Amino acid sequence: MFNQFGAYDIELYDGEKRAGKTLCMVADTHEDLKRTQAKDVMIFTNFNLKESFFKGLAIDSSNWQKIERIDLALYHHRKLEFKSCIFLIDELQIWLDNRNFAKAEKVKIKELNEETGIEEEKEIKINYNSAVVYFFGQMGKRGNVLRGTVHDYSMIDFKARIYTGKLNFVFKGLVNEKGIWKPILNNNRELSLDENSRLYIQKEEVIKKQIKTNFLPEFRYLKSKPKYIKASDYFDMYDTEELI
């Protein structure tokens, strides 16, 4: 558990295209930060957050940084810089494609020379596969949280699945005049202004729990009651049309 927010070390958002996965991920993170009013936290995303995301929070946009794959790999090398962080990764299955980690690469970084007090550029060799394994394994120990969207849980690498504590299955739907939620069958259909005002994302949470047995520990998956997120409350917090 991530003690600042009560979140799991790794949480995934699973659903069809345009089902509202990124919106749910952004909404959950905003509400966690709003509830806890956490201050000493950095947010790293591979998509753009807007200024309205930080409204009502104890942090501002200076606590947010957009990242590329290379920056995540550097987590292995610059360990002390990544504590109390939230990583929000859209299309996690693309970032975790094993073809990205087939070989080691040389990258240039800047490091502070403790003797001179001056930042110096140096070249290091990074094995991305090792870096990614370390990234997932150390997530909770460093007080960090990783949230990512996927089209299907089975698409992502075993390295991520084994450390995942919570799965969020996401569905798009409309609430009618009687307050009843009904799913939208075609997620690609353009919605009217009225429909956007009645758009709610259903989120079904599945929690991974370790059960003690007389032999070896077993894991069970516990499903909670569906939760509903009003989409229009979060539309303006991130770039909904951005391509990853």
pTM for this model (two decimals): 0.87
User: Are the C-beta atoms of residues 112 and 118 closer than 8 Å to each other?
Assistant: yes
User: Are the C-beta atoms of residues 121 and 110 closer than 8 Å to each other?
Assistant: yes
Q: What is the tens place of the pLDDT at every residue in 34-61?
A: 999 998 899 999 999 999 999 999 999 9
Q: What is the mean pLDDT of the chain?
A: 86
State the alpha helices, DSSP H only, in 13-168: 21-36, 69-73, 92-95, 128-137, 158-161
Indicate the DSSP class of residue 116.
T
pLDDT of 27: 97
Euclidean distance between CA atoms 203 and 82, whole angstroms: 29
Q: What is the tens place of the pLDDT at every residue in 93-130?
A: 887 765 665 566 677 777 778 888 888 888 877 777 77
C-alpha separations of 210 from 34, 35, 40 in Å: 30, 27, 30
Q: Which of 4-8, 11-15, 133-137 has the highest mean pLDDT?
A: 11-15
pLDDT of 6: 76
pLDDT of 96: 72
Average pLDDT on 74-94 reads 83
Exposure string over 40-51, b if 16+ CB within 10 A, otherwise e = ebbbbbbbebee
User: Are the C-beta atoms of residues 101 and 128 closer than 8 Å to each other?
Assistant: yes
Select from 3.30.70, 3.40.50, 1.10.3470, 1.10.3210 the CATH code of 10-237. 3.40.50
Is the predicted pLDDT of residue 2 greater than 60, yes or no? no
